[in-house]
Chains A and B, each alone.
Chain A
């Protein structure tokens, strides 16, 4: 089998096994089906580029979810351009409903609604904690951050959630 065919089959195998997980995350964050499918391709490009650096300290799905989450959050951040005189840009996808298989739908909805208020890292922590239900230690390992830093981001998210949505929102 040629090198190209072998690589294509490697990618196809990743798609068969993890494609629905990656697409689900992209769809949830981006809200738009076509954008989500485009982002899914980009995520697998990133995965293929860095696959040799995957050290296996986390489950492959955790690693993939992390790449997908980061990619989509970055896309969202790029779309939030400065106000222009002639046109304004607004990312409606943040308002669009997005079903995420396995996740608590109400919690997912609340988290997604609040995401726009935070920096990228706090967004990542919130998603991993409230959607993926990872422990703070697991989040720290996934993001390469210390436990105190993760706690700080989480407390920041919780403070705003409480203020915006009332107590016990999450």
Chain B
């Protein structure tokens, strides 16, 4: 290993740059570095890097994000957390509005009888607003020979194109992604083995580690992303697929679990 001719290492220079040394060491190393053009250049490079970092980085935002991650990782979701999901403003407000609608706005309907004196409350004319869907999302970013772009469902891609995924778990804590090809073959993507969901960050838009390079198989591929509050086994996806009338042309896996929300992206490989 070649060190600088003056004998100073990058670690020492870094300590000098960061003012980590005891005063007498700092004095000695500063003198040594001061006589060395290479070390001066390296110190200058580190100073420029710090300047650029401080210019480009919103320190408050980053520190807040770190603290959020720290807090989120220290406690697993309890039943209260899961219940708390229902009390989020984007869930609660529409539910409250729906409740008000039912109680106040919808007129009372005449009770119906079955001829035996038993009365049944009518529900004719009552229209329930659809439940608010959590804002799950799976976004696709494509790198091809032209560079990077945001991918769209239905996009035509080629062998060698690279896809990176970003997700919003919409409050869920687990994610499993699988792809279904034109032959009806389901393959795991995240995780990449047929095991169970990976744990993810429950809100905000985040990058999934790793990327996928497309192989030479052609035809349509549907990518399913299933977000849940408890892990989903890959076998559950396979079972759901088998229950579909047309396994090659499935648009929803539909696991019949209350804690699961699903989204898909279609790509066409040529």
Residues of chain A touching chain B, judged by Cβ–Cβ distance below 8 Å, are: 4, 7-9, 11-12, 15-21, 23-24, 34-35, 38, 40-42, 44-45, 48-49, 59-62, 65, 75, 78-79, 81-82, 84-92, 101-104, 107, 129-135, 138, 170
Contacts and interface: CB of A to CB of B under 8 A. Distances in A.
Contacts of B206: 38
B210 A79 contact: yes
Given A19-B59, A102-B46, A7 B215 contact: no
Contacts of B212: 87-89
B62 A101 contact: no
Among B13, B62, B187, B188, chain A packs the most CB atoms within 10 A around the CB of B62
26 contacts: A8-B64, A11-B66, A12-B62, A15-B59, A15-B63, A19-B53, A20-B50, A23-B53, A24-B49, A35-B207, A35-B209, A40-B62, A42-B69, A59-B14, A79-B210, A86-B215, A87-B214, A91-B211, A101-B42, A101-B48, A130-B1, A132-B11, A132-B14, A133-B9, A133-B11, A170-B1
Contact of A82 (B48, B179, B193, B209): B193
Interface residues on B, range: 35 or more
A133 to B, nearest CB: 4
Contacts of A88: 212-213, 215
B54 interface: yes
B60 interface: yes
B11 A34 contact: no
B123 to A, nearest CB: 48
A21 B207 contact: no
Contacts of A107: 2
Q: Chain B CB within 10 Å — which of A85, A90, A102, A170 has the most?
A: A102
A162 B214 CA distance: 34
Given A16-B59, A87-B187, A87-B214, 15 more contacts: A4-B67, A11-B63, A12-B63, A15-B66, A17-B18, A20-B46, A23-B53, A38-B206, A59-B15, A75-B209, A86-B215, A87-B212, A101-B48, A102-B17, A133-B3
A11 B42 CA distance: 27
Interface string B177-209: 001010001011100110000000000001101
Interface of B: 1-3, 9-11, 13-15, 17-18, 20, 42-43, 45-46, 48-50, 52-54, 57, 59-60, 62-67, 69-70, 73, 162, 179, 181, 185, 187-189, 192-193, 206-207, 209-215, 217, 221
Nearest to A43: B66
A8 B68 CA distance: 10
A61 B213 contact: no
Contacts of B53: 19-20, 23
Contact of B210 (A45, A59, A65, A91): A91
A85 B181 CA distance: 11
B213 A89 contact: yes
A79 B13 contact: no
Given A8-B63, A16-B59, A82-B193, A131 B10 contact: yes
A86 B64 contact: no
